[in-house]
């Protein structure tokens, strides 16, 4: 059983009628709905819960964290962001959606500013598959189109991804590395660009397939935080970790 935690900022849905109409129960519930399966169980958490709804114990029992945030990245305490970062380094999978590129856990994991060029103008986006044999792109044709998405453009100041899976092409002309995979210590991190709050992107079948594929792909085979052992040489043959 893969244990997923969907974390949502959950502010737009309360403040904007337009967003509320599209995601009446919040983006997290929309995502949870299509992720849930015989082999996948889903919990949710959001910003305005105590400690962002996140505890060390919860993360220890989470295989994959999905993160959606946008306007309130700064309200996530560093202590929470570091807890998430360390859980990923220990092996927890992580999927950052859309404006999650600027969330603290994503930036702290990658180290760069994770800036990008952007524009809200209702462009359509066509996403092209770069690696047709990858588990995350299974079931997706050569490309698919979202009628409306927020435009994200290069340069996207991330470290070179370990694998580039999708390039998005916006009707306004911009291109963007819309699906990027990173490996950091024991954890796999997938960034996926679609998911602006004012569009029904999370009801798109292709988007759902990709996120669900990603859940199964980034789920850990192993979970352990690698610390910094002080070792002692005992004999010529043996070296022991000092307790």
Residues that bind its own copies (CB under 8 A): 85-86, 89, 91, 102, 108-113, 115-119, 121, 126, 128-135, 138, 142-143, 153-157, 159-160, 162-164, 167, 169, 172-175, 177, 182-186, 220-233, 239
CB of 112 to its own copies, least distance (A): 5
When the beta carbons of 42 and 219 are compared against its own copies, the nearer one is: 219
CB of 182 to its own copies, least distance (A): 8
Annotate 39-93 with DSSP letters as a single string: TEEEEEEETTTGGGG--HHHHHT-SEEEEE--S-GGGS-HHHHHHHHHHHHHT-E
Return the C-alpha torsion angle 30, 34, 38, 43, nearest 10. -30
Of 134, 123, 10, the residue nearest 76 (C-alpha): 10
When the beta carbons of 42 and 180 are compared against its own copies, the nearer one is: 180
Measured distance CA(231)–CA(139) in Å, rounded: 48
CB of 52 to its own copies, least distance (A): 20
When the beta carbons of 24 and 155 are compared against its own copies, the nearer one is: 155
| 201-to-17, 63, 85, 92, 228 alpha-carbon distances in Å | 17, 24, 27, 25, 43
When the beta carbons of 58 and 175 are compared against its own copies, the nearer one is: 175
When the beta carbons of 28 and 177 are compared against its own copies, the nearer one is: 177
CB of 174 to its own copies, least distance (A): 7
């Amino acid at each position: 059983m893969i244990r997923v935690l969907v974390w949502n900022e959950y502010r737009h849905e309360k403040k904007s009628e337009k967003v509320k109409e599209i995601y009446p129960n919040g983006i997290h519930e929309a995502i949870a709905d299509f992720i849930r399966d015989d082999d996948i169980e889903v919990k949710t958490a959001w910003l305005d819960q105590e400690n962002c709804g996140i505890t060390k114990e919860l993360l220890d029992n989470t295989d994959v964290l999905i993160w959606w945030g946008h306007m309130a990245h700064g309200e996530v305490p560093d202590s929470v962001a570091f807890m998430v970062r360390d859980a990923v380094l220990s092996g927890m999978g992580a999927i950052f959606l859309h404006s999650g590129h600027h969330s603290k856990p994503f930036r702290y994991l990658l180290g760069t500013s994770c800036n990008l060029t952007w524009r809200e103008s209702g462009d359509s986006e066509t996403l092209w598959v770069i690696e047709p044999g990858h588990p995350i792109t299974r079931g997706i044709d050569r490309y698919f189109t979202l009628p409306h998405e927020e435009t994200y453009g290069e340069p996207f100041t991330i470290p070179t991804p370990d694998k580039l899976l999708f390039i998005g092409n916006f009707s306004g002309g911009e291109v963007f590395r819309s699906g990027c995979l990173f490996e950091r210590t024991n954890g796999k991190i997938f960034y996926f660009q679609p998911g602006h709050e004012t569009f029904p992107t999370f009801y798109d079948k292709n988007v759902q397939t990709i996120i669900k594929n990603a859940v199964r792909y980034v789920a850990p085979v192993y979970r352990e935080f690698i610390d910094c052992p002080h070792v002692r040489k005992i004999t010529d043959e043996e070296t022991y970790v000092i307790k």
